Structure 1
Amino acid sequence: MNMLNIIDPIAQDNSIESYQVHSYKPYINSFNTNDEIRIPINQQDLYVLPSASTIYIEGSVKVYRPNGDKKERVSVVEFVNNAILYLFQDIRYELNGVEVDRIKNAGITTTIKSLISMNENETKMSRLWGWDTDGIKNTKGFFSVCIPLNKVLGFAEDYNKIIMNCKHELILLRSNTNLNAVKLNTNEVLEDISINKIVWRVPHIKVSDRERVNLLRYLEKDRAISLAFRNWDLYEYPMLPRTTKHTWSVKTSSQLEKPRFIIIGLQTHRKNIGSGDMSQFDHCHLRDVKVFLNSTYFPYESLNINFADDKYLLLYELYAKFQQSYYGHRCAPLLSLKEFKDLCPLVVINCSRQNETLKTGPVDVRVELESDSEIPDQTSAYCLILNDCIVEYKPLSNIVKKIT
């Protein structure tokens, strides 16, 4: 028994000598709409830990209310949940000039992923990156956030090891509008949301002499190092037709990426209008959702949802079980049953258990939606697919390639 091992030596881990965070800035300090912002790490003889890195952003917001011929400055601006990431369209990470991971529509993608992944304990730190399901009211006119990269990219969330002797680059593409980041009241007009500063803060790891020798011996052989992670692939149907049944052919892929989870969300009259909250979703009286991977469908039985009679327990159960299935540990979900209905009635489909025929050849991903009444006008559908992904890199020859 452990309690009897009184002569065990004291074990101390001295393999890491220092852990220092270094700040990297973009090539050009231009952060206007549609601008591409590139933040490089060109020095190659480094051991860095991208999974623990953060994106620090500073900026200001101006909202006014017309008052006759004058503009009256609004003192309290209401940001939506996860507002700052709605200022970016795409975010991607490159290694030696090769794209490793990317998300599209950064605000929607990270909002959906965080809603199903976060638990109550994480909410204590979540305001650091502008996360609050009740929204955030800004009274100062300027903002600053520190966004963990593991809340933005699946690569940073899953791969928590160092990367050696490579060039790194983080690329952020500004959205063409700022309206999705705020929730405007009647007669309020968004003048501008300006970003003044972006810094990528990346940990540098200095190892002990013994560990350095071991790593250098491995580098000399120029063996490929595998980076295994799950990427977050978002697809959008901009405007659903006014029907009670609709089939959406989301994606056909000839690659060997295996969809693990598929999350469906609907939004009515929220995009690019300012008065709508882009961080929330609508149930649109859904009755059933089926996801087809070729001829195999998930879930096996109908969900039989009825939001009018508060019969959506099966939908909430799928949401609540996500963390156990995805991370392998049980946690209380972020939202209660009522909050789930009011804020994010997302459909979480677990398709991680699949037969052998889906592991090779093309996979046709199709979604069938059925509702009790016609889908309202200006309703967009979002489908977030969580795929397996493997990238290999060779630190000595600087070769990076995706294994698909």
Structure 2
Amino acid sequence: MSEELQIFQDPQFDTSVIREETRTYYPFVKSFKNNDEIEITVYQQDALLQISEAALIIEGTLTKTAGAGDIVFTNNAGAYLFYSISFELNGKELDRVRDPGTVSSIRGYLCYGKNEEHSMAGWNLNSPHMVIYNAATKTFILRIPLCHLLGIFYDYKRVMFGKQTLRLLRARTDVNCYKVTTADTVGELTITNIELKVKNLFLNDVQKLNLLTQINEDKPILIPFRQWEFHELPTFTEGSTKEIWSVKTCTNVESPRYVIVAFQKGRKDVKTEDIMGFDNVDISNLKVHINSEYYPYEDMNLNFDGLKYTEVYNMYLRFAKMFATNSTPSITYPLFNTTSLFVIDCSKSDDSLKSSTIDLKLEIESRKGFPRGVRAYCVVVHDRIMEYLPLSGVVRSFI
């Protein structure tokens, strides 16, 4: 019987959760200098943790120590504070992101809409220098959801329990977090406090008994998500028109679903440039080689000077519609000329034809030759499934 004919059905109320509490967890060592490792452990035996909705609270100061120019935060400044971020469950690493600033910026352009812009402090394309900074006291405060930093929490929204550890490795420099208007201006960023806000859920007796029964049976819990794996090519042969980049060699279980390529010219670790921009560097063609297969089938024949990039922009739109929670793309067609992201779909393939080893290469061509100071970023999106045995506490890789 259809739903609209259920006129005698009693109203139903969800009373499985009797209490919610947001609790604050602090690092073991309060040293937040460059290259320091920060560890935050969450272990609450009598509660389920909504860790996917957890958020980092970062407080600090940003001061100008020299020069006559101005200093402002860049968009997504909080993510650039760290060199790597990892999440562990019972001592087993589930997900790790190297260079979370670049990875989250690429994911933000691809997946976020206007709703996400307003809910994430430090991320707003329309107003990148949003009010997170008190100019009078030189202090700032950021609230960064973990789902913005780690792919596992972008996909997996269910509660977790057990010993959970977040590891943060501070970046070696903070110049990517802010921008100065003149080269002689010197800024100093200091973090004074980092804490993790996590929602704890407490169940009623019926739900608690049902959960404990399944735990005593050691019923496996599968944790599926898409991992965003970061690779970087720091330099190109200046003046060359073609580059072959051997990105990685991996097993068949890490077969790429999507390969996202971006380029920057003279932006990284340069305080006068905006780290959030991704340059087209006059790319004319780009192909992904996975063993003997290559994607896309036809050459792109791009010409950014002539605004001829409709196909690669359409690839971006298809990815955004599949991954984004908001149907409105963040990058318009004119903006794509100065914020270029090349998304290659490798998901349609015959796994039976693949060997046990995957060799991933990029073939990159430029119309006028690569200029000095160009670096390339490659984000490989592949499926990952972890298996958690709740009674024994064993965590292992399923895929």
Scaled to the shorter chain, the TM-score interval is over 0.9
Which structure 2 residues correspond to residues 77-92 of structure 1 after superposition, within 5 A?
Answer: 77-92=71-86
What's the secondary structure of 1:259's corresponding residue? coil
Match of 1:104 in 2: 98
1:99-144 C-alpha deviation (Å, 9 max, x unpaired) = 1101001111111111111123322323x24443653165612211
Provide the rounded CA distance (Å) in 2 between the counterparts of 1:203 and 1:360: 44
Match of 1:269 in 2: 266
Match of 1:393 in 2: 388
Match of 1:69 in 2: none
Match of 2:125 in 1: 132
Matched, 1:221 2:248: no
The 8 Å contact of residues 86 and 181 in structure 1, kept in 2 or not, is answered as: yes
Match of 1:57 in 2: 58
The residue type paired with residue 205 of structure 1 is L
More off after superposition, 14-23 vs 262-271: 14-23
Matched, 1:258 2:255: yes
The 8 Å contact of residues 252 and 354 in structure 2, kept in 1 or not, is answered as: no
The 8 Å contact of residues 120 and 333 in structure 1, kept in 2 or not, is answered as: no
The 8 Å contact of residues 52 and 150 in structure 1, kept in 2 or not, is answered as: yes
Shift of 1:191: 3.5
How has the CA–CA distance of structure 1 residues 360 and 14 changed in structure 2, closer, same or farther, with 3 Å as cutoff? farther
Provide the rounded CA distance (Å) in 1 between the counterparts of 2:213 and 2:194: 37
Q: Which runs of 4+ in 1 moved over 6 A?
A: none
The residue type paired with residue 340 of structure 2 is P
The residue type paired with residue 392 of structure 1 is E
The 8 Å contact of residues 112 and 326 in structure 2, kept in 1 or not, is answered as: no
The 8 Å contact of residues 179 and 190 in structure 1, kept in 2 or not, is answered as: no
Match of 1:28 in 2: 29
How has the CA–CA distance of structure 1 residues 382 and 355 changed in structure 2, closer, same or farther, with 3 Å as cutoff? same
Match of 2:108 in 1: 114
Provide the rounded CA distance (Å) in 1 between the counterparts of 2:336 and 2:140: 28
Match of 1:162 in 2: 159
Question: How many residue pairs get matched?
Answer: 393
Provide the rounded CA distance (Å) in 1 between the counterparts of 2:11 and 2:43: 40
Provide the rounded CA distance (Å) in 2 between the counterparts of 1:358 and 1:90: 35
Shift of 1:256: 1.1
Match of 1:202 in 2: 198
How has the CA–CA distance of structure 1 residues 8 and 286 changed in structure 2, closer, same or farther, with 3 Å as cutoff? same
How has the CA–CA distance of structure 1 residues 330 and 277 changed in structure 2, closer, same or farther, with 3 Å as cutoff? closer
More off after superposition, 355-364 vs 230-239: 355-364
* RMSD of aligned residue pairs (Cα, Å): 1.8
The structure 2 residue matched to 1:316, chosen from 313, 318, 322, is 313
How has the CA–CA distance of structure 1 residues 116 and 286 changed in structure 2, closer, same or farther, with 3 Å as cutoff? same
Shift of 1:268: 0.6
The structure 2 residue matched to 1:289, chosen from 274, 282, 286, is 286
The residue type paired with residue 43 of structure 2 is N
Shift of 1:356: 1.8
Provide the rounded CA distance (Å) in 2 between the counterparts of 1:330 and 1:170: 28
How has the CA–CA distance of structure 1 residues 247 and 377 changed in structure 2, closer, same or farther, with 3 Å as cutoff? same
The 8 Å contact of residues 78 and 135 in structure 1, kept in 2 or not, is answered as: no
Shift of 1:339: 1.7
Unmatched tracts of structure 1, length 5 or more: 67-71
The 8 Å contact of residues 244 and 370 in structure 1, kept in 2 or not, is answered as: yes
The 8 Å contact of residues 64 and 188 in structure 1, kept in 2 or not, is answered as: no
Matched, 1:174 2:182: no
Shift of 1:9: 0.9
The residue type paired with residue 171 of structure 1 is R
The structure 2 residue matched to 1:94, chosen from 88, 92, 109, is 88
Unmatched tracts of structure 2, length 5 or more: none
